[in-house]
Amino acid sequence: MLQAAIGQIRFARDYTLGLLNATPQDRWFEIPGGMTTNIAWQVGHLTVSQYGLLMFRLQGRQDEDLELIPGKFRKAYTRGSTPSSDTAKQLSSDELIERMAAIHDRSMAVLESVAPEVLLEPIDMPYAAYPTKLGAVLFCPLHEHIHAGQIGIIRRAMGLDPVR
């Protein structure tokens, strides 16, 4: 099941990156009319979420995590935070992509090395299917697909052509 989840996580990230690569970075902070979010917030949120679901859930907070994903960053993009179009108050699109890639790479390394018995340890929501660490891993690609859909809708609201 873990290998299937890893495959789904990779597929979801590739899909998201396809959407992001087809979106001009100078428009990432634009909140289209009638929308309440933007591409930059979606990227930041996916980064924070992947950290939480894969790294934090599986191994706890590590000392080096504070540099990679500081509290200010987590607070800006966590569930319930407010997307902003103010580029002066957040990382650039290049920095967001770099941080997203760094968290993804480290998360995948954690997944590749996790002991099977660790996956059976219980956790609280969010998770999918099982209230265990494996459930958090299973939720990760589902969550990313939800936000990939939002990225697609934002792109369409910007007047951009669909990717698929």
Domains of the chain: 2-157 (1.20.120.450)
- Taking a C-beta distance cutoff of 8 angstroms, is the pair 149, 93 a contact? no
- Decide if pLDDT at 54 tops 90: yes
pLDDT at 150: 98
pTM of the entire structure?
0.95
pLDDT at 126: 86
User: Once rounded to an integer, what is the mean pLDDT over residues 74-97?
Assistant: 94
- Taking a C-beta distance cutoff of 8 angstroms, is the pair 31, 38 a contact? yes
pLDDT at 154: 98
Amino acid at the residue 53 = L
pLDDT > 90 fraction of the chain, expressed in percent and rounded: 88
How confident is the prediction for the chain on average, in pLDDT? 95
pLDDT at 10: 98
